[in-house]
Chains A and B, each alone.
Chain A
Amino acid sequence: MKRTTAKRRQLSNAPIISLEHVSKAYSAGAPALNDVNLHINKGEFVFIVGDSGSGKSTLIKLLLRELLPSSGRIVVNGTDVVRLRRRQIPKFRRNLGVVFQDFRLLKDRNVYENVAFAQRIIQKSGREIRKNVPSILSTVGLAGKYKARPKQLSGGEQQRVALARALVNKPQILLADEPTGNLDPKNSWEIMNLLEKINNNGTTVLVVTHNREIVNDMQKRVVTMKKGVIVSDEEKGGYIDED
């Protein structure tokens, strides 16, 4: 592994995401994750790449506390995820922004309501919502489309709404699971540029992707997974071919 820790220490002293000897087995068959160790510092931009079945999605689910590991320790934002009680999960997730490949917007609500929804969950007042939502919509370039319903938007625009929703509560970490998976190259780049901008403002960004071009061009830290194991972790890496 070419990973140098010096650069990481420049960003922060302690990892904001830490996985120690984490394994996850579903039932029969090979484990989805096998003794994974990964540390991501505050403010980092990290790509997680790998083929289908390599364990990327399981990793995201573990970080979101959708799943529990079979063994090992996971600390996110200072919280021991494994020890988290069920009723503590919502509060934990409010410090994480999440973006999915399929956008996962509330289809029967407009852009404004979709973004405001994240604010309502953390019980922001109406005044704060009216201030914060237009501001974040402007950041993602959708100020003029706040009344539109998801089906009236292009894929790129829907992903921007999802990004706005993920960011409106100012999370310290943004998890993006294949955020460009359903987008054309132009929109993909727009989303990645937004993610980079968000990262430059101090948010730690973790992107799971298959997009070789983006990974190679952005020259960020790249963690490559294969069959549940981290096979490579490079500071300014590229997409490693399977063969």
Chain B
Amino acid sequence: MRINTLFYSLIQGIKNIFRNKWFTLASVATISACLFLFGLFYSILTNFEHMVKSAEQRVAITALLELGVSDERVAEIKAMLMNREEVNEVDYFTADETWAKFAEENDFGDISIFTENPLEDCAHFDIYMNDVSMQSDLVEYLETIDGVRKVNQSALTAQVLTGVNSIIGYVSIGIILILFLVSIFLISNTVTIGIQVRKEEIQIMKYIGATDFFARAPFVIEGILIGFIGSLVPLAAVYFLYNEAVIYAASSYSFMAALIQFLPVEEVFATLIPICIGIGVGIGFIGSYTTVRKHLSV
């Protein structure tokens, strides 16, 4: 194939977009609407997932140490724990620190009047996890460590969070799958109707000796461009809405700031941009390629 044939197909594909303004508009609008919903749900669900993840990381397991565990052993245990995949953070508190914190939280005032530390056997680790569903495994492991006398955990919290996490996972997959299928159906219908109207054009090309590639190329280029434009529009809209929503939530519900932390827009869009463009361009390509194929057998 000559380079000028490729260039010609590209120019014709671009011209087709303007020649068939209404078809272009309808297709771009359909793709945009579907991808807008997709983008919106994706943003909401990733934020939910992020919030649950953050909550998970705030759930601590407390491992109380036996009396007289040496500093070296403490460092050793801490290193062992940090090496575990499910562990995010390990904080060590000496018995004195534990007592001071307890006294402060309970408003005991001056604790120097106590001659002994009532929590002498309460030196402990607070362990924060990446994946709360593995809490029981970690607890089992902790109980085997020499120097650990007792492990406190909140099994109920872990269960609830694990449950919420898996529900979000299923709901995300379900909603995204439904939206994806609806998008494909709507978009391929729009493309089919648009190309059906131009069936004659394809047939004329074939009658005068155009190869399948030559007849198809401008339509496929047109489909890809429509898909590309159709994905940029909702991305811009979701980007704008997302930013506005984060700013609004931060300013209007500042009391929630400690509980709810939105993902930065860059983080959401780092994944959303390639997904949306991929879907848009992919659907444009597949839709136009398969629809034109139906009319090529002349």
A-side residues, CB < 8 A to B, are: 64, 66, 87, 90-94, 96, 98, 104-106, 108, 117-118, 120-123, 125-126, 165-166, 169
With A66-B298, A106-B201, A108-B19 already in contact, the answer to whether A125 and B4 are too (CB < 8 A) is yes
Residue from B5, B209, B212 in contact with A93 in the complex, judged by beta carbons closer than 8 Å: B209
Are B4 and A93 in contact, CB atoms less than 8 angstroms apart?
Answer: no
User: Once the chains bind, are A106 and B204 in contact (CB under 8 Å)?
Assistant: yes
- Residues of chain A contacted by B2 (CB below 8 angstroms): 123
Bound CA–CA A166/B207 (angstroms): 10
B152 on the interface (CB 8 Å rule)?
A: no
CB of A94 within 8 A of CB of B209, answer yes
A90 CA to B212 CA, complexed, in Å: 8
Give me the interface of B with A, judged by CB distance under 8 Å. Answer: 2, 4-5, 8, 19, 200-201, 203-212, 214, 298
A91, A104, A121, A165: the one contacting B200 at CB < 8 Å is: A104
Residue contact A90 to B210, C-beta cutoff 8 Å: yes
Chain B nearest Cβ from A228, distance in angstroms: 23
Judging by beta carbons under 8 Å apart, are A121 and B204 in contact? Answer: no
Interface contact A90-B4, CB-CB below 8 Å: no
Q: Which of A91, A108, A121, A125 contacts B208 (CB 8 A)?
A: A121
The chain A residue sitting closest to B207, CB to CB, is A98
Known contacts A108-B19, A123-B2: A64-B208 contact under CB 8 Å:
no
Provide a sorted-by-A list of 11 A–B residue pairs whose CB atoms are within 8 angstroms. A64-B207, A87-B211, A90-B211, A96-B209, A104-B203, A117-B208, A118-B208, A121-B209, A123-B4, A123-B5, A125-B4
A78 to chain B, nearest CB (A): 17
Are the CB atoms of B204 and A93 closer together than 8 Å? Answer: no
Return chain A residues, CB-CB under 8 Å to B210.
90, 121
Determine if B8 and A93 form an interchain contact, defined as CB atoms under 8 angstroms apart.
no
Q: How far is the CA of A121 from the CA of B4 in the complex (A)?
A: 11
State which of A87, A93, A125, A169 has its C-beta within 8 Å of the C-beta of B207: A93
Contact of A121 among B201, B205, B298 (CB under 8 A): B205
Q: Give Cα A187 to B224, complex, Å.
A: 43
Contacting residues, chain B, for A117 (C-beta < 8 A): 205, 208
Q: What CA separation (Å) do A93 and B210 show in the bound complex? A: 9
> Other CB < 8 Å A-B pairs besides A93-B209, A104-B207, 20 of them?
A64-B207, A90-B211, A92-B209, A93-B207, A94-B208, A98-B207, A104-B203, A108-B19, A117-B208, A118-B208, A118-B209, A120-B8, A121-B205, A121-B209, A121-B211, A121-B214, A123-B4, A123-B5, A125-B4, A166-B208
Closest-by-CB residue of A relative to B8 is A120
